Amino acid sequence: MAGKIVYENVSKSFDGALIVRNVSFEVSGGEVVVLLGPNGSGKSTLFKMTVGIVKPDRGRVFVNGVDASVDSLEARKIVGFMPEEIIIYESLKIEEYLEFILSIYGRKVDENTLQKVVDLLGLREHLDKFIGELSHGTKRKVLLAALMLREPRVLVLDEVFTGLDPVAAKLVKTWIREAADSGVPVLVSTHILPIAEAIADRVLIIHRGEIVAEGKPGELKELFGAKELEDVFLKIAGYSPEYEEVIKALYR
């Protein structure tokens, strides 16, 4: 199973509610798979399973052959995971944080490379600030810098584009593509559907804990008779034009 993320018949419940229902799929090395779904559909739960933060009630998740439920420490060494929520040491400055994270993973990155990544993500002007003083988007850039410098063998990125300015979003799209082209399996979620369509080799749509559609963006559009991936998603998620009339009525 080298160079792969594998979900095998995974199910997970919280407080008696079934959040993920018998999900199976793979992400191969060199492939960018985008997982789309409404809030609460099970995306983040699946992503957290790749590093053992959440353990499935049934089924297994493998990252490069490592069972994440059995050996979460090894899985975390392999996976570059960005959660939707920002978890970061706010009492450190940017360079202190980056050096700390790299030391945890036994990574030695020369100062020149570190400074290039800092400049690439527009973090130079914030180096004298504590991370707790930074905006939401800038904190996400710090997390991105740590992932870029780590060069992980698997990327799992949950809502990675949230809060990023257009320049940073473009850089992240390029980074994702370069990582995949180097053989890294990449699993991404985003609510920004034009970005999903631009970066995805394959799209999975999850609704109410189940994978309900899968294919290349063009294949899904053809299957659903849609012009844009957004239209496919809205059809699956149950969007109705009647909703627009309700909104318009609020302003009459």
The string of pLDDT tens digits covering residues 139-154 is 999 999 999 999 999 9
pLDDT at 220 (0 to 100): 92
> How far apart, in whole angstroms, are the C-alpha atoms of residue 216 and residue 239?
22
Q: Which of 65-79, 184-198, 217-231 has the lowest mean pLDDT?
A: 217-231
| pLDDT surpassing 60 at residue 23 | yes
The model's pTM = 0.92
Q: What is the pLDDT of residues 89-111, one digit of tens each?
A: 999 999 999 999 999 998 888 89
> How far apart, in whole angstroms, are the C-alpha atoms of residue 31 and residue 96?
33
Phi/psi zone of residue 137: left (φ > 0), alpha (ψ -120 to 50 degrees), beta?
Answer: alpha
In which band, very low, low, confident or very high, does the pLDDT at 1 lie, cut at 50, 70 and 90? very low
Look at the block and give the residue holding tokens 């998740």.
61
Q: What is the pLDDT of residues 167-218, one digit of tens each?
A: 999 999 999 999 999 999 999 999 999 999 999 999 999 999 999 999 999 9
pLDDT at 239 (0 to 100): 72
Distances, alpha carbon 247 to alpha carbons 38, 242, 251, in Å: 20, 9, 7
pLDDT at 236 (0 to 100): 85
| pLDDT surpassing 70 at residue 2 | no
Domains of the chain, residue spans:
4-86+153-250
Residue 199 parent element (H or E) = helix 193-199
Q: Which CATH superfamily is domain 4-86+153-250 in?
A: P-loop containing nucleotide triphosphate hydrolases (3.40.50.300)
| pLDDT surpassing 80 at residue 242 | no
Asked whether the CA dihedral 145, 146, 152, 157 is positive or negative, the reply is negative
| pLDDT surpassing 50 at residue 118 | yes
> How far apart, in whole angstroms, are the C-alpha atoms of residue 231 and residue 239?
9
**What is the arithmetic mean of pLDDT over 69-82?**
95
User: Comparing C-alpha atoms, which of 77, 84, 51 is closest to residue 189?
Assistant: 84
Mean pLDDT (the chain) is 92
pLDDT at 98 (0 to 100): 95
